[in-house]
């Protein structure tokens, strides 16, 4: 049976890392890993009519990722981010603008695809411009499963705006720092309490919390679950959270229990953290498809 696709809305960028320049952006990374897991992931974004835009489409073809919902902008350039890594492999981002991915239009083709999707993934970073907010609002109306991936990157990290759009989701994924920023209860009082308070604030019943090497957690309708992260020699953490998102969502859409979704997610996240770049090839050591 052919699986319904997942639409991944937001930024497509070229990440300039110390090890080289890699095609990335959280929504594109999620789409890539969904495809590797056997589920169609369609990036919804916009690139410039320039060399990097052409190279984006060429790379996607090579990776087997569809570009059918990627728009081309005649004026704005393809997005780029300069990434600095600290000794632990953690990343800091300089997001360049203007960028074409800030101008995704609610075309008839996009809305038609949205009506046939199994789920919609969107990140808070993609909400910094009005054009994107209009397009995303239209897509959210049709999506049965809506996962908001919180991505607080200063100066595009307005708390009230992020809370507003998180409240439109069925699932919210975030890390420990982001939970501290958004919840009215400090994580110092306990992760479960902070998540429960954020659930009450937003009305969302399903939260996914990542904490790097300290593990990951799920808060679902008052039930709190935890999973350790497999030991791995970290190459860099870029894209590991996006792989986590893809694995969790794919397992959820297949009807698996939250504990199993979490287990699959931490395994794939660790696998990607042990490799350079956000979209490494899957080899024999990659976690098996659910």
Give me the DSSP letters along 203-272. ---EEEEE-GGG-EEEEETTEEEEEPPPP---S--TTHHHHHHHHHHHHHHTT--HHHHHHHHHHHHHHH
Mean pLDDT, the chain, rounded, equals 94
pLDDT digits (tens, 9 = 90+) for 96-139: 999 999 999 999 999 999 999 999 999 999 999 999 999 999 99
Contact call for residues 167 and 193 (beta carbons, < 8 A): no
Residue 37 has pLDDT above 90, yes or no: yes
Angle 130-136-137 from CA coordinates, rounded to 5°:
90
Residue 62 has pLDDT above 90, yes or no: yes
Confidence category of residue 284, pLDDT binned at 50, 70, 90: confident
pLDDT digits (tens, 9 = 90+) for 130-171: 999 999 999 999 999 999 999 998 888 999 999 999 999 999
pLDDT digits (tens, 9 = 90+) for 176-203: 999 999 999 999 999 999 999 999 999 9
C-alpha–C-alpha distance, residues 120 and 5, integer Å: 9
Say what percent of the chain tops pLDDT 70: 98
Residue 25 has pLDDT above 60, yes or no: yes
End-to-end CA distance of the chain: 15
Residue 289 has pLDDT above 70, yes or no: no
Question: Can the peptide bond before residue 155 be classed as cis, meaning omega within 30 degrees of 0?
Answer: yes
Q: What's residue 88's pLDDT?
A: 76
Q: What's residue 288's pLDDT?
A: 64
Any idea which residue has 């095609």 for tokens?
23
C-alpha–C-alpha distance, residues 192 and 207, integer Å: 10
Q: How far is CA 166 from the centre of its chain?
A: 13
Any idea which residue has 């993609």 for tokens?
126
Residue 262 has pLDDT above 70, yes or no: yes
Confidence category of residue 84, pLDDT binned at 50, 70, 90: confident
* DSSP state string for 145-187: SEEEE---BTTB--HHHHHHHHTT-SEEEEEHHHHHHH-SS-G
Q: Which two tokens stand for residue 36?
A: 């590797």
Q: What's residue 89's pLDDT?
A: 67
Q: What's residue 40's pLDDT?
A: 97
pLDDT digits (tens, 9 = 90+) for 223-254: 999 999 999 999 878 789 999 999 999 999 99
- 4 versus 22: which is more confidently predicted? 4
φ, ψ of residue 234 in degrees (nearest 5): -70, 125
Q: Which two tokens stand for residue 134?
A: 């209009």
Q: What's residue 290's pLDDT?
A: 47
Sign of CA dihedral 25, 28, 31, 35: negative
């Amino acid at each position: 049976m052919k699986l319904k696709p997942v639409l991944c809305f937001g930024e497509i960028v070229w990440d300039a890392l110390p090890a080289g320049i890699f095609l990335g952006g959280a929504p594109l990374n999620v789409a890539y890993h969904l495809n590797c897991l056997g589920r169609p992931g369609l990036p919804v974004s916009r690139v410039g009519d320039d060399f990097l835009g052409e190279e984006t489409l060429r790379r996607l073809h090579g990776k087997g990722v569809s570009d059918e919902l990627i728009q081309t902008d005649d004026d704005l350039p393809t997005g780029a981010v300069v990434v600095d890594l600290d000794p632990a492999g953690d990343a800091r981002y300089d997001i360049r603008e203007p960028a074409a991915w800030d101008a995704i239009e609610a075309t008839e083709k996009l809305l038609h695809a949205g009506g046939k999707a199994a789920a919609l993934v969107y990140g808070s970073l993609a909400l910094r411009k009005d054009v994107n907010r209009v397009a995303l609002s239209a897509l959210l109306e049709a999506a049965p499963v809506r996962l908001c991936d919180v991505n607080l990157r200063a100066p595009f990290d307005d708390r009230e705006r992020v809370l507003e759009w998180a409240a439109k989701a069925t699932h919210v994924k975030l890390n420990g720092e982001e939970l501290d920023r958004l919840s009215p209860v400090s994580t110092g009082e306990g992760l479960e309490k902070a998540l429960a308070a954020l659930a009450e604030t937003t009305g969302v019943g399903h939260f996914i919390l990542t904490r790097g090497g300290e593990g990951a957690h799920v808060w679902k309708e008052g039930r709190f679950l935890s999973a350790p992260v497999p030991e791995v020699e970290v190459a860099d953490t870029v894209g590991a959270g996006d792989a986590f998102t893809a694995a969790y969502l794919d397992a959820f859409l297949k009807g698996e229990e939250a504990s199993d979704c979490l287990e699959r997610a931490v395994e794939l996240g660790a696998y990607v953290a042990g490799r350079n770049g956000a979209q490494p090839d899957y080899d024999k050591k990659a976690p098996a498809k659910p």
